[in-house]
Structure 1
């Protein structure tokens, strides 16, 4: 690690560290734990000798590498195997004296040098078989080498095909067609302040079963410069979701919630991140997938609700995904859920209540209509 670039890290396992961000004043508070597309901003730095785990699980390693790196590795594996067995055939021909022997006594017909041996190796492994070069019965060692090359060729082809199919059927690709809304909203549902976000499947083959989860991630800086990560699960309604139509995932801001005491004025000062995920099985492939994203306090819109996307047609339901991320204003008290619960039953004779949000502006609500406002349900 360069001495000119100071970085905040979390020690996790011996020499493995999570690189979060270089230390530049207060900028570390703005670092996202997870990108909107689900990528986690954690870089692993391995110490010497820690690369053995990647070779032990070579299949997973090759599935996770980039396409260009995988194609380079497979191309080199074929070329090196052709060169190796070509060298073996050339050595056999050299020891057997094929450079001077008559044609009928050659180990491999029409192989009298390294170029011919390399071409025979490539034709054998790629099953080209031009018919010009071929194995004879004059040399048992060459026959054994050809047999070994054929077996290795089958294994290598199977390995390459398996890796390519696994990369093309990667769960990450399917996860890109199941997405969360760009923002989360806070509004009233049956008189209770709730934090909610949207989840939708953009493909035609709908997901009929999946499990949603939400977790609050906080990172705090310690006096000695280290960073401590804390994780706290959020209770959400209806974890098991049928995603035939877009679904709104709801977390009630009630006692026990880590967001219970936070109000709209407190959000800009917080440094938490709401990590949400949806785990499901693809109906086409049967592969387990997971879509995830995160919301920072800047992504939470207080006093808004998602627009309705679902319409009833003559023969089927219609979903307008153009409105997936669209919101509009809702009447919501501009105070925390804790303070809102305390103010549900105001003192007798009081005619004013805490300000609420109307069309993006704060205003006072008369006590006579407060109860009616508390009972409204926001989508």
Structure 2
């Protein structure tokens, strides 16, 4: 680990300090932003992809219904434009639009006259566009890989080979293979410069094993708190005093999707237990197979 002794730092204005937990755990949902230009429709694609699957299907359903209502109103502008429809019946015009948009064509109602045929042509073209967009959006939304990495609810500080060591667990809930998994660990803290300016600073924490060629079940991630560690000499009260927070990011290649996935977590000072160790979750079953008990995944014991 050639980079263990190197500390890379990044500074942020102090107003970010109170919201760093929300950023680490929930994106930026807990942050109130003012003065930033709104992208609006220019970023509609991102907005659609980040909404829930149910919300996306609901949006497409609303667009579909509104399109049929619009075309039905256009058909009714010229009386008699739909052969076989009742005069002035909006429901007939609406369902004729549904049949045209869906290229069903039952035959009971047909376009009559130049106006209706032009509208039917436009509606058919609109159908080609909306079907292509809907298929692409749903496929992108469904096929986007997501990580199902579970982090232990708490972290512990316990002696490991004679050195106090920060430890926490991560588990691949899917049980498939995450190849070339990598973990990065950082300490976010509030500092005051010599000029008296409050700054939010990130300092890298060296991990004893930052890469794993195969992440399938469980991973115990450790950081030695020695003289080179930004955590050296700090306790829970010290971390609270500097607004400290441990930030975790794991990435790797999901062999199912053949795409890279990411997971993140954060530990606040009250979630770090000193002089504790994790309960053992590995054992041997009566039939000789190795047994991993996730019921004890978050449990800690006296060191």
**Same fold, judged at TM 0.5 (above):** yes
C-alpha distance in 2 between matches for 1:142 and 1:133: 12
SS at match of 1:83: helix
Distance 1:265 1:272, change over 3 A: closer
Q: Does 1:233 align with 2:204?
A: yes
For residues 301-333 of structure 1, what are the alpha-carbon distances to aligned partners after superposition, in whole Å with 9 as ceiling and x for unaligned?
Answer: 111122222224556432111111122222xxx
Q: CA RMSD in A?
A: 3.4
Q: Does 1:303 align with 2:291?
A: no
List gaps (5 residues or longer) in structure 2: 1-11
Distance 1:304 1:251, change over 3 A: same
For residues 126-156 of structure 1, what are the alpha-carbon distances to aligned partners after superposition, in whole Å with 9 as ceiling and x for unaligned?
Answer: 34433210135x53x5333322212211322
How many residues align structurally?
A: 288
Q: Which residue of 2 aligns with 1:123?
A: 99
Q: Is the 8 A contact 1:85 1:118 kept in 2?
A: yes
2:68 to 75, 79, 82: 82
Q: Which residue of 1 aligns with 2:302?
A: 329
Q: Is the 8 A contact 1:193 1:252 kept in 2?
A: yes
For residues 83-137 of structure 1, what are the alpha-carbon distances to aligned partners after superposition, in whole Å with 9 as ceiling and x for unaligned?
Answer: 222233233x34xxx3xxxxxxxx542244462333321221134433210135x
Q: Does 1:110 align with 2:100?
A: no
Q: Does 1:63 align with 2:49?
A: yes
Q: Which residue of 2 aligns with 1:133?
A: 109
Q: Which residue of 2 aligns with 1:209?
A: 180
Q: Is the 8 A contact 2:183 2:248 kept in 1?
A: yes
Q: Is the 8 A contact 1:34 1:293 kept in 2?
A: no
Q: Which residue of 2 aligns with 1:245?
A: 217
Q: Does 1:45 align with 2:33?
A: yes
C-alpha distance in 2 between matches for 1:56 and 1:144: 31
Q: Is the 8 A contact 2:178 2:255 kept in 1?
A: yes
List gaps (5 residues or longer) in structure 1: 1-9, 13-17, 21-27, 99-106, 331-379
Instruction: Output the TM-score relative to the length of structure 1.
Output: 0.65
Q: Does 1:293 align with 2:281?
A: no
Q: Is the 8 A contact 2:248 2:266 kept in 1?
A: yes
Compute the displacement of 1:39 (Å). 4.5
Q: Is the 8 A contact 2:226 2:232 kept in 1?
A: yes
Which has the higher Rg, Structure 1 or Structure 2?
Answer: 1
SS at match of 2:174: coil
Distance 1:44 1:161, change over 3 A: farther
1:258 to 221, 225, 230: 230
- Whose RCO is larger (CA < 8 A, sep 6+)? 2
Moved more, 256-265 or 296-305: 256-265
C-alpha distance in 1 between matches for 2:276 and 2:82: 79
Q: Which residue of 2 aligns with 1:191?
A: 162
C-alpha distance in 2 between matches for 1:47 and 1:65: 24
C-alpha distance in 1 between matches for 2:179 and 2:231: 31
Compute the displacement of 1:200 (Å). 0.7
